[in-house]
Amino acid sequence: MNKYGINVPKGVAVSTIDEVKEAVKSAFPNENELVVKSQILAGGRGLGTFQNGFKGGVHIVKADQVEDIAGKMLGQILVTKQTGPQGKVVGKVYLCEKLSLVNEMYFAITLDRKTAGPLIIACSKGGTSIEDLAEKYPDMIIKVPVDVFKGITDEDAARVVDGLAPKVADRNDSIEQVKKLYKLFCERDCTLLEINPLAETSSNQLVAADAKLNFDDNAAFRQKEIFALRDPSQEDPREVAAAKADLNYIGLDGEIGCMVNGAGLAMATMDIIKFHGGTPANFLDVGGNASEGQVVEAFKILTSDDKVKAILVNIFGGIMKCDVIASGIVNAAKQVALKVPVVVRLEGTNVDQGKRILKVKWKCDGCNFIIS
């Protein structure tokens, strides 16, 4: 953000106590107080609790206390509303200058299906979740769609600033900050840019006091600098393994593992499971041209989830051939100790060959396959 001329607090990310000591000395020699923020991919850090009993993932402390507070965070597991009870390990903390804020607002840019382009959301109240803001101050939230071909205009930016209603920051400077934020959003292939709070300081400056950015995975090839910062330790290990195998996987909290080809059929399969009283453990789309190896990897991911009580394979073979899926399942059964029943529904290309492969395997090895 700083590279784009957006006002941000001075800060340094550190991962060890030695780095903390050095950062306080070199980056903040004249600061009496600093903000220490645990760095995890989840919200609600300030109200979170560490499993070691330490409360709060964000603290404002005296400069001589930074080392002690950082030591209670680094390497520890922080549990917030968004992490689930398992929490996330804090591998880094962010040290930044304490700002004197006089007003807090909310600002975001996201992608909107209705207008088929970027949508800027602004609210003159900030510092809390947008869901709470929408409930308490629905009339204060304004939405400004931006024509993706024309780009943001001075009029668009002015409407956003009017919605923010800054009290002390210069209006023209604020308009320029909005335009710079939009430029960042587009040039860096963001899917979300959220600043909460976007604040005014006692020096009459508009500052992005805290921010969250999401990036389009499909743009990784041209955003190498950003994607090099990816931290797999902060992600679901099943999703990391799926990405390596080029599988579309999202982990859920249910007990029926799903392996389907095609996103539409995958969503419909999850709906059917829910309709009949079950709960899907995941979304898993193997795509239209999955190899046997990918099917094996998919089964490894599904069976690595202790909550899974059964697996449903639902394949409609168009481009994807049913015999390839069946061979992958058979190979997976050889490599993975299948302790749960597997229901396999095959239709389409090479369906008879696929069912034959599974039936032979079932008869030979006694695998718990139910073929539909």
Question: So which residues are the catalytic ones?
Answer: 106, 194
How far is the C-alpha of 239 from the C-alpha of 302, rounded, in Å? Answer: 11
E-only strand ranges, the chain? 11-14, 33-39, 49-50, 58-62, 77-79, 88-89, 92-97, 101-112, 117-123, 141-145, 190-201, 206-208, 211-215, 248-251, 256-260, 282-285, 310-317, 342-348, 369-371
Question: 208: which DSSP letter?
Answer: E
- Report how far Cα 53 is from the mean position of its chain's Cα atoms: 26
- Enumerate residues 6+ apart whose C-beta is below 8 A from 100: 201, 202, 203
Q: What share of the chain is helix, strand, coil (3-state, %, to 5)?
A: 35, 30, 35
Q: What is the dihedral of CA 248, 79, 229, 304, to 10 degrees?
A: -40
- Whether 66 contacts 19, CB under 8 Å: no
Q: Which residues pair with 213 in a beta bridge?
A: 193
Q: What tokens does 359 get? A: 């039936």
- Whether 256 contacts 311, CB under 8 Å: yes
The label of the residue with tokens 């930016």 reads 157
Give the Å distances, CA to CA, from 287 to 284, 325, 333.
9, 11, 21
Please name the helix (run of DSSP H) or strand (run of DSSP E) that holds residue 37, with its range, or none.
Answer: strand 33-39
- Whether 315 contacts 343, CB under 8 Å: no
